Structure 1
Amino acid sequence: MSKPTINDVAARAGVSKKTVSRVINNSPLLNAATRAKVETVIAELGYVPNPQARALATGRNFLIAMIHDNSNPELALAAQQGVFEAIRDTEYALVVRPIDRKAAGMEQELRHFLEVQRPAGVLLLPGVAEMESIVAACNQIGCAYVRMGATALDVPSQLVASNDRQAAADAVAYLVSLGHERIGLVAGPDDASVAQQRELGYLDAMADHDLDRGPALIAAGDFSFDSGVTAGNLLLEVSPRPTAIFAANDAMAAGVLHAAHKRGIKVPDQLSIVGFEDTAIAAHIWPPLTTVHVPVAVMACGAVFKMIYPDQAETLPAQFRLEMIARASTAPAAG
């Protein structure tokens, strides 16, 4: 059986196609009885409006495009859940566009995607949000956008941000409060703004407490579990060995935990470990990770609200607080 069309709805309800269109688009130019009759027929026939046709008819597109860097799939999944929450019971739909920021021709391909789809709004996740060329493309094409970042990247109406630098400093200060003085860092990739902010927070806290923050206590990672293992092995070979390690994300913190287990170093009795982001791995490994919770879904939901309710964008939250989650991977420094 063919799918019902707007003509089928109009014929069954005994109204014009234009009247059906007005019902679909919530036009105020209808009385309650006519609206109720058409809505009943739509439900009976199972009619679903064609979004492309609606966009042409109303001059509006109902797509929200989420652009993310493939390197952090957990972040993208959490953000996606937030978008779904924001568009629930609305006419909007989500289209997800993963990109490789380092790929040749990426910017041209993304520009073409935006020109063809003409989304009502574009959510730029961390990594992509820092790329001014993509922001410029959105402006030139006329796509509203909101950037999600670890620090303020734009005006409040086009921004949702966390203060990762302060949260990282607070996490290191927590380790200091437990009596740790020799604290290592597993840093993230140099080209990632979130990694830079978290490393700065580590350095801030170490300086505030007049603790050694030399290069021997800092190992580079790329946000992957394997890089956390490698960095953990490097830091655990330093003499004297760190009594605590702060990693710029949970996957690398889990890698440090693995490296410690392989060396017979007990966590948290001999080594405390702190991660960042509070992803699923943090609660599922043993011991579960002390970490910093980033409300990605809430931030993404707030970002989409700014796009679908532009008149309220200035007053909707732009800054989001991060929360320290203390679990079993940290303990007071051994006396």
Structure 2
Amino acid sequence: MSLRKKADSDTTTRPLGRPATINDIARLSGVSKKTVSRIINNSPLVRKDTRDKVEALMREVGYAPDPLARGLAFRRSFLIGMVYDNPTAQYLVDMQYGALDALRGSSFELVVHPCDTRSPGYIEGVKRFVQQQKLHGVILVPRASEDQALADMLDEIGCRYTRIASAALDESAQMVVTHDHDGAAEAADYLLSLGHRDIALVTGPGAYRSAHDRTAGFLGALARRGIELPPERIIEAGYTFESGVAAAEKLLLGKQRPTAIFTGNDEMAAGVYKVAMRTGINIPRELSVVGYDDSPLASRLWPSLTSVRRNTRDTGRTAAAMLIQPEGQAALQIASVRPHLIVRDSCQPPLD
């Protein structure tokens, strides 16, 4: 008798006209309900012959696991959370697209949770979000990902997480590193290769680890060539267009202006463009500009902006994929998404 006929004939377990349940699959295959659950969730803790037998039965009877029932059974929903603290809109969109790429075709969906990491109660707010939604796991986006207290809280309540950061802050199974230090160093090397020596730096806010790493990478590359920027050539800004304008005004409205500016993101580079245009400074003939992120804005500016591409979509995809892989399959090494410089039209050698 085939498995299909056996299932149809067992009316005490699965009456005709009623979809099969996980209990039916367990009884008909002669294994426990827990074993069936492990097979459904791709656990590595099931022998291959058992998995093959149960999966064959599920195919024959047309059994499809119900996502809500699965979530209730495991006291987890099939939801992946993304926790972020006010990044630029395009960055967040690209990160979400990447996560959705990884979740497509699975039982998982993505939910987002904005927070203010400067608020005293924000960790408790994230905790409520995780517990109310019964999240399977959480993607922590900078700058939330840089807060060790937040990661410790998720550990305490048993919630899986992946941290995205410019440098390694955690175990390999929980990290995606974006190597911002190296991306900024490449930008410095490029400006030096063009012959620039009077260079200015517009950094991101000091509260962000990425700002520190990009600053260190850029200044370190200059130092290796014997160049040290004076304090007036380093302006801290806020990763926003408006703060880029304010920084550029300090750098470009004086008598001695730099021949090149590196900004910690493309939004601030756009602010530099505005001040240059307003004051009649030609980019790139009189001023070279390099940004960071390689957001869509970079190719829309005129002249198009040379920028460090950090592959935000790939970062989101990697972080989500790490969360939905079966537990017990820990990464042997930290996942990396490496930046690289995209050269366009905003730089040329300085005028003699």
For normalisation by structure 2, the TM-score amounts to 0.83
Query: For 1:122, what is the secondary structure of its paired residue?
Result: strand
Larger radius of gyration: 2
**1:325 aligned to 2:349?**
no
Question: What is the CA-CA distance between 1:311 and the residue it aligns to?
Answer: 3.5
Q: Which residue of 2 aligns with 1:285?
A: 301
Contact 1:181 1:211 in 2 (8 A): yes
Question: What is the CA-CA distance between 1:31 and the residue it aligns to?
Answer: 6.8
Q: Which residue of 2 aligns with 1:83?
A: 99
Query: For 1:268, what is the secondary structure of its paired residue?
Result: coil
**1:242 aligned to 2:258?**
yes
Q: Which residue of 2 aligns with 1:271?
A: 287
Q: Which residue of 1 aligns with 2:249?
A: 233
Question: What is the CA-CA distance between 1:239 and the residue it aligns to?
Answer: 3.7
Q: Which amino acid aligns with 2:234?
A: I
**Do the aligned partners of residues 12 and 259 (structure 1) sit closer, same or farther apart at CA in structure 2, a change above 3 Å counting?**
farther
CA RMSD of aligned residues (A): 2.4
Q: Which residue of 2 aligns with 1:35?
A: 59
**1:312 aligned to 2:329?**
yes
Contact 1:114 1:141 in 2 (8 A): no
Aligned pairs for 1:154-173 within 5 A: 154-173=170-189
Q: Which residue of 1 aligns with 2:114?
A: 98
Aligned pairs for 1:43-192 within 5 A: 49=66, 51=68, 53-192=69-208
The CA distance in 2 between the partners of 1:190 and 1:204, in whole Å, is: 17
The CA distance in 2 between the partners of 1:83 and 1:21, in whole Å, is: 32
For 1:300, which of 282, 304, 316 is the aligned residue?
A: 316
Task: Kindly provide the CA deviation profile for residues 135-158 of structure 1, in whole angstroms up to 9, marking residues without a partner as x.
Answer: 011001100111101111112111
5+ residue gaps, structure 2, are: 1-13, 27-35, 41-50
Question: What is the CA-CA distance between 1:67 and the residue it aligns to?
Answer: 0.5
Q: Which amino acid aligns with 2:347?
A: T
Question: What is the CA-CA distance between 1:75 and the residue it aligns to?
Answer: 1.9
The CA distance in 1 between the partners of 2:15 and 2:206, in whole Å, is: 62
Question: What is the CA-CA distance between 1:65 and the residue it aligns to?
Answer: 0.8
5+ residue gaps, structure 1, are: 1-9, 43-47
Question: What is the CA-CA distance between 1:19 and the residue it aligns to?
Answer: 5.8
Query: For 2:144, what is the secondary structure of its paired residue?
Result: coil
The CA distance in 1 between the partners of 2:24 and 2:139, in whole Å, is: 32
Contact 1:182 1:212 in 2 (8 A): no
The CA distance in 1 between the partners of 2:300 and 2:24, in whole Å, is: 51
Contact 1:302 1:316 in 2 (8 A): no
Q: Which residue of 2 aligns with 1:5?
A: none
Contact 1:225 1:252 in 2 (8 A): yes
The CA distance in 1 between the partners of 2:288 and 2:96, in whole Å, is: 32
The CA distance in 2 between the partners of 1:302 and 1:75, in whole Å, is: 15
Aligned length: 318
Contact 1:305 1:313 in 2 (8 A): no
Q: Which amino acid aligns with 1:333?
A: P
The CA distance in 2 between the partners of 1:109 and 1:276, in whole Å, is: 31
Question: What is the CA-CA distance between 1:303 and the residue it aligns to?
Answer: 1.6
